[in-house]
Amino acid sequence: MGAPVALWVYLSTTPLLWLTLTVVIWLFADWLAQSSGRNPLVNPVMIAIAIVSAILLATGTSYGTYFDGAQFVHFLLGPTTVAIAIPLYKNWPIVRRKALPMLAALIAGTATSIFSAIAVAAAFGVPRAVLISLAPKSVTAPVAMSLSESLGGIPALTAVLVVFTGVLGAVIVTPLMNAMGLRDYAARGFAAGLAAHGIGTARAFVVDPVAGTFAGIAMGLSAILSSLLIPVIVRLLFPTA
């Protein structure tokens, strides 16, 4: 047993191990999702998070050590987000026709997301710092964490809430839209991106390119509008924050 343990101790300190492990786990999770016919309940992000978390807990590996190896994947989030401009360009005529409905949905959806989260949590007596951390839960992670930190929230908690919101949204969006009888993929995608940011956008692209395009638009616009609204709302509701 000594040799395998010693080998693991050595490998666990090398960044390449965690990068490789992350990629392999993601490919496995995506294979499971594909094998299920892309069933929304078999969400690859949720599966990958569960497996990686279990490995880190079982091996006693800190998140800092893991991130040192997996940060290249984190770096790719930026180029991936910019790449959404490609389907946006391809579907520009549809986007232009739906500009006004999108604006109305953006304002209503963003405001509802912020106020509903704060109101429900406040009703249960949640502390102020947690309420602030909860406000940007539907915003893409980098923006949400920055907002939380600048307003007196807990960035780490915000990150967890953002991921949870995204995974939950990606799981329920398809069955919910089907149950509502909503067939317009532009509307479905916009709702997914607005409520579930990047993870919802990834799910929307799996369903339909038009849905993915509008989800990406919603994700970007929601981040901008939330950056303007949340500081104002927090300072109005929590003047001492």
Residues 45-61 have pLDDT tens digits of: 889 989 999 988 988 88
Judge if 88 and 192 occupy the same domain. Answer: yes
Other CB atoms within 10 A of residue 25 CB: 18
Of 43, 75, 107, the domain-final residue: 75
Judge if 123 and 67 occupy the same domain. Answer: no
Confidence category of residue 108, pLDDT binned at 50, 70, 90: very high
Judge if 231 and 115 occupy the same domain. Answer: yes
Judge if 43 and 27 occupy the same domain. Answer: yes
CA-to-CA distance for 7 and 205, rounded, in angstroms? 41
DSSP state string for 148-217: HHHHT--HHHHHHHHHHHHHHHHHHHHHHHHHHT---HHHHHHHHHHHHHHHHHHHHHHH-HHHHHHHHH
pLDDT score for 135: 92
Average pLDDT estimate for 107-130:
91
Nearest alpha-carbon partner for 89 in 209, 223, 222 = 209
Is the predicted pLDDT of residue 136 greater than 70, yes or no? Answer: yes
Judge if 71 and 82 occupy the same domain. Answer: no
Judge if 57 and 98 occupy the same domain. Answer: no
Judge if 56 and 157 occupy the same domain. Answer: no
Confidence category of residue 78, pLDDT binned at 50, 70, 90: low
CA-to-CA distance for 116 and 33, rounded, in angstroms? 31
Of 75, 105, 126, the domain-final residue: 75
Percentage of the chain beyond pLDDT 90 is 25
Judge if 37 and 138 occupy the same domain. Answer: no
How many independent structural domains does the chain possess?
Answer: 2
| Centroid of chain to Cα 185 | 20
Judge if 141 and 59 occupy the same domain. Answer: no
CA-to-CA distance for 46 and 100, rounded, in angstroms? 34
Q: Specify the pTM.
A: 0.78
Judge if 140 and 210 occupy the same domain. Answer: yes
Of 48, 75, 102, the domain-final residue: 75
Judge if 194 and 94 occupy the same domain. Answer: yes
What domain range includes position 61? 1-75
Judge if 60 and 118 occupy the same domain. Answer: no
Average pLDDT estimate for 136-157:
88
Nearest alpha-carbon partner for 66 in 30, 31, 25 = 25
